[in-house]
Chains A and B, each alone.
Chain A
Amino acid sequence: MSTYQAHFRIWRGDPGGGELTDYTVEVHDGEVVLDIVHRLQATQAPDLAVRWNCKAGKCGSCSAEINGRPRLMCMTRMSVFARDEVVTVTPMRAFPVVRDLVTDVSFNYVKAREIPAFVPPAGLGPGEYRMRQEDVDRSQEFRKCIECFLCQDTCHVVRDHEENKEAFAGPRFLMRVAELDMHPLDAAEEAGLDRRRTAQEEHGLGYCNITKCCTEVCPESIRITDNALIPLKERVVDRKYDPLVWLGKTIRRRKA
């Protein structure tokens, strides 16, 4: 097993201010960035704040920015960097910082609460839902989300424009709207809830300019833009901007 000394720059600070602090730290074969942060805690910076949990890329806790790219620290191998490369680790820059590498991601919880939940179909009790696999495939892809919020962090709509946070739910939660709108048993429409219209009017889908950064950073490789956001945009067009679809539906309704 080989070891070497790596040069790390880690942002240390709190909402009042902070700076990038240099560290030289030992790295062993097979380690990931989170291992190195833990070694720093153990040897040089016992007060370094970092949020982590599973170390397996499944809990979504250790989101940060490594050399300027939003990534999970536990899934970023040290072998992707040259041995003489400076590795810069900062907290996610779209959210308020709590301390060091820990950010306050409560924006996401607020947005999650704004999305109306699954509406159970009438006449079916728990355990009586039956769905064909091809009908749930699309929604299941979105269920892989580990809520690391890297997509929310990298989305320039809120990252570069704090003022848009009120109007824009962000890719993670627009994906949630898409998931529910594609769900074969969601009875929102029957209950008078138009998910497509609200996606545009209440959750800010129109702000998305499909530049695909959310897809690029997703550690679960969910094709957020192609499979959730663009299909949702097309569904919004059906509802709001396509007179042919409106005409077809009106004629069908009259025939019925």
Chain B
Amino acid sequence: MRSPGRASIAARHLRTDRWWLSPAATAAGLLAFVAYSTWRAFANAHYYAAPYVSPFYSPCLADNCVPMRGGPNWALFGSWWGLSPALLILVFPLGFRLTCYYYRKAYYRSFWAAPPACAVAEPHRAYTGETRFPLLLQNLHRYFFYAALPVAGILTYDTALTFRDSHYAWGHAGLGTLVFLVNIVLIWAYTLSCHSCRHIVGGRLRHFSKHPVRYRLWTWVGRLNRRHMQLAWASLISVAVCDLYVYLLATGAFDDPRFF
């Protein structure tokens, strides 16, 4: 910014508003989630309180999972896996969110300060963006989107299971059912509002008029896509709340209030 020929202004920026507030709040929010989810993912305990299973542990892919009647037990990795089974599945939602176009903006601004805010000079001497490894891997986002679809499907199944009581009888619901319902709606809304999804369903077409169904889908996804940032945050919070709810039930902190 102080290159020869440009206006000789020493200040890094001349903004007078609280430009630092947004990156600081973003960093705080993301760090809080990372700290919470790391603790819960490595804890390997208190993730099932019938009929609820924590979204961090679903599907549960190892032998060392708690048996969940009718639940998402699928011991794909057998008995050799000795660590927390959450680590096996969280790779996919983590990759989906890490390469997400919204989260990229969020962490490039708040953690890497590239740039910290618009028209505020970044502190780095050189910048190559996403042209080289490892950031070139951001282009894998659509593959994580594909992986996120079955994960969201399994979480939908888990939500259906919440219409049971603690004795596995169907036709019941409690406060947890409501928490899971809100979470799964937000998870699907975030997943389907993804920019890669928008591209895949219709964005890559040149002639919308020749593909009316895909055009309609593209406009729907586009409408959701306008809220991608809000959905990213809402679903991040809801998945943590869902897990916390199961944790509190599993540790006996309180009983699930039943509606019917």
Contacts and interface: CB of A to CB of B under 8 A. Distances in A.
A213 B117 CA distance: 8
Nearest to B19: A68
A97 B5 contact: yes
Nearest to A183: B206
A241 interface: yes
B206 A182 contact: yes
Nearest to A182: B206
B196 A234 contact: yes
B8 A13 contact: yes
Interface in B196-254: 196, 198-199, 203-204, 206-209, 215, 225-226
A209 B119 contact: no
A209 B131 CA distance: 10
B101 A210 contact: yes
Interface residues of A, number: 62
B142 A237 contact: yes
B101 A134 contact: no
A187 B195 CA distance: 26
Interface string B108-127: 11000011001111101011
A249 B109 CA distance: 37
Nearest to A92: B7
Contacts of A240: 139
B246 to A, nearest CB: 35
Nearest to B212: A134
B129 A160 contact: no
B6 A93 contact: yes
A68 B1 contact: no
Interface residues of B, number: 51
Interface string A94-125: 11110000011000000000000000000000
Contacts, number: 150
B91 interface: no
A233 B140 CA distance: 11
A206 B17 CA distance: 30
A93 B7 contact: yes
A11 interface: yes
Nearest to A95: B6
Contacts of B206: 135, 182-184
A96 B7 CA distance: 7
A152 interface: no
A63 interface: no
Given A160-B127, A208-B130, A234-B196, A154 B119 contact: yes
A209 B114 contact: yes
Contact of A207 (B6, B118, B128): B128
A216 to B, nearest CB: 5
19 contacts: A18-B8, A68-B16, A69-B118, A88-B14, A94-B1, A96-B6, A97-B5, A97-B6, A104-B5, A134-B215, A159-B1, A161-B126, A163-B126, A164-B127, A182-B206, A208-B129, A209-B129, A217-B118, A231-B199
Closest 7 CB pairs of A and B: A68-B14, A68-B15, A96-B5, A206-B131, A213-B118, A234-B199, A207-B129
Interface of B: 1, 3-9, 13-17, 101, 104-105, 108-109, 114-115, 118-122, 124, 126-131, 135-136, 139-142, 195-196, 198-199, 203-204, 206-209, 215, 225-226
Given A134-B208, A240-B139, 17 more contacts: A18-B7, A68-B14, A68-B119, A69-B15, A85-B16, A93-B7, A96-B5, A97-B7, A156-B121, A161-B127, A184-B207, A209-B104, A210-B105, A217-B118, A226-B226, A234-B204, A237-B139
